[in-house]
A and B are shown apart, each in its own frame.
Chain A
Amino acid sequence: MELLLGALILGLAYAPLGLGVFITMRVFNFPDITADGSLTFGAAITAALLVAGVNPWLAIAASVAGGFAAGSLTGVIHTRLRVNGLLSGILVMTALYSINLRTMGRSNVPLLTTTTALTQLERPLGALGMSMPDSTLPPLLLFGTIALLLVWGLAWFFRTDFGLTMRATGDNETMITAQGVNTNAMKIIGIGLSNALIALSGSLVAQYQGYADIGMGVGIVVFGLASVIIGDTLAGVFGSGFNVWTRLVCVIAGTILFRVIVAAALSVGLAPADLKIVTACFVLVAILLPRTRSILRTRGT
């Protein structure tokens, strides 16, 4: 139960990451490695500002802005300077490593004694007579609310005229250019939006875990992708692969489920060191599975 609750909270904290990866991978079909750096960037900005005594909500906003800047930089390098998409992400991710170290001043910043958004929530919740053991209520409520707001906001956004344009940019550039859209600008905004969400996750996770660490973003794209793939599978089960609402909700469910699976695997003895290779293999198999299935089918007929 305790394990499940922890996984649920962590899943919700990583929900913005899942949504961010969904935007680059599923909307734009753009494998964006910037995420590894921008998640840490979000955590680093929050950590530095919290240690300096800045209001936690302002720190979260600054992290989101920083993530957007990092993502749109990748977009500019890719579209305006015409650098290969993967390489653009790798360049920004690598540059962010230095920026993150500079922002934090060292490789690990503990936040256990500083005021965070979570400690700020504790008192009003306590005054209302609401509490749960190990102060799990503030993160559960905060991260859950953020996840819900994001799903609602993105579902709305992707149905606005601007949001339709963004989806069409990922779908068919020839078509949307013919409708008068500057696809470069759309990609820059889209990748920026994705990384803003990913940096938000970094900020939330740092506050929840009580530290920001230079290595916390390593391999995070693959974790996000695993969540998106689990979400896609769920969406497929519900049989509405194209409905934006369902897909976004399924991404959130995917991130939570992914964390539950990870927690379960660790508790039955998976060494934390092996987590990344196992996740990478999972993603590889998930990508190959539909392909082998269709190969088998064509061979069968």
Chain B
Amino acid sequence: MIRIESLTATFGADIPNRVTALHDITLDISEREFVVVIGSNGSGKSTLLNVLAGTVQPERGRVLIGNTDATRLRAHDRAHLVGRVFQNPFSGTAPTMTVAENLRLAELRGVPKGLRRRLDARRIDGYRGHVAELGMGLEDRMGTPIGLLSGGQRQALTLLMATLRRPEILLLDEHTAALDPESAEQVLLLTDRLIERHRLTAVMVTHDMNEAARFGNRLLMMNAGRIVLDAAGAEKQALTPGGLLARFAELRAAAAHGH
């Protein structure tokens, strides 16, 4: 379970044109919820995920992940709770290291890494099974430096890495935006499958209204640092891409009116 309590996040607090990226947000995400987040550019989606991951420190408010008060935990101190996939396929993997070595580090997410050689043939075989399930034919390339793989292959592996050790929450920030349509679809289906299989709690940011309507069991729409729509259950299932676009148009009209 995730709880965000009256959270405010500000950038450039010490300069005149400070930006309040999150305005007093309160949000509860229950176990096994798959939350899709949409919103225009600069509405605070990434900041919300970064606050959960610990790479952005909130100015006010609390963040609880599972039974842990994570508000003051730095990103690397809460990594055992959080799995992440980034928008940029280069961000999630160590390029000069092999597929197996990357997976080994992911298996050790949030636990101390000792002076022992543990990456043996038996363990690599174990990883191979998981990699085969991605359906990308990467199981024969465990010794390949990951930087030689395509963006889609890397994103799929990053997804596997983020879930290899079960996270309390999986954070996906437009993780298919940099991929070609075919790879994007493949990675999305994989995302859905892994979340289902491991019964994960997940938050996924997307710009694609079709994706937002198709995936997840709860939808948040953000605008100017606030959550302006929160739909779950049947209400979420009833959302259509067209309907979501209409909501965006409404918001834009209201904003224009306000000025």
Contact = CB atoms under 8 A, between A and B. Distances in A.
Interface of A: 156-157, 159-165, 167-168, 171-172, 174-183, 242
A178 B94 contact: no
B115 to A, nearest CB: 5
Contacts of B117: 156, 159-161
Contacts of A176: 94, 105
Contacts, number: 96
Contacts of B91: 172, 174-175
Most buried by A among B53, B113, B118, B119: B113
B62 interface: no
Given A180-B79, A181-B113, A242-B145, A172 B119 contact: no
A171 B75 contact: no
Most buried by B among A157, A160, A182: A160
Interface string B99-112: 00110111011110
Contacts of B84: 178
Instruction: List the 8 closest A-B pairs by CB distance, nearest first.
Output: A180-B79, A171-B94, A180-B110, A161-B113, A168-B94, A165-B113, A179-B109, A172-B94
Contacts of B114: 160-162
B248 interface: no
Q: Report whether over half of chain A's contact residues are helix, strand or loop; otherwise say mixed.
A: helix
Contacts of A178: 53, 75, 79, 82, 84, 92, 109, 162
Contacts of B115: 157, 160-163
Given A159-B119, A160-B115, A179 B110 contact: yes
B80 interface: yes
B108 A167 contact: no
A164 B93 contact: no
Contact of B76 (A163, A168, A181): A181
Contacts of A182: 76
A277 B98 CA distance: 39
Most buried by B among A165, A179, A182: A179
A179 B95 contact: no
B69 to A, nearest CB: 18
B100 to A, nearest CB: 10
B215 interface: no
16 contacts: A160-B114, A161-B105, A164-B97, A165-B108, A167-B101, A168-B94, A174-B86, A175-B92, A175-B105, A177-B75, A178-B79, A178-B109, A179-B108, A242-B96, A242-B98, A242-B145
> Is the interface on chain B under 10, 10 to 19, 20 to 34, or 35 or more residues?
35 or more
Contacts of A177: 55, 75-76, 79
A301 B101 CA distance: 36
Nearest to B53: A178
Nearest to B96: A171
B116 interface: yes
B76 A175 contact: no
Given A164-B113, A171-B94, 15 more contacts: A159-B117, A161-B105, A164-B119, A165-B105, A171-B95, A174-B86, A175-B92, A177-B55, A177-B75, A178-B84, A180-B79, A180-B109, A181-B76, A182-B76, A242-B98
A190 to B, nearest CB: 14
Given A165-B113, A167-B96, A179 B86 contact: no
A175 B85 CA distance: 9
A174 B116 CA distance: 24
B116 A160 contact: yes
Contacts of B118: 160-161
A150 to B, nearest CB: 16
Contacts of B77: 180
Most buried by A among B76, B82, B91, B108: B76
A242 B97 CA distance: 8
A174 B79 CA distance: 12
A161 B119 CA distance: 8
B96 to A, nearest CB: 5
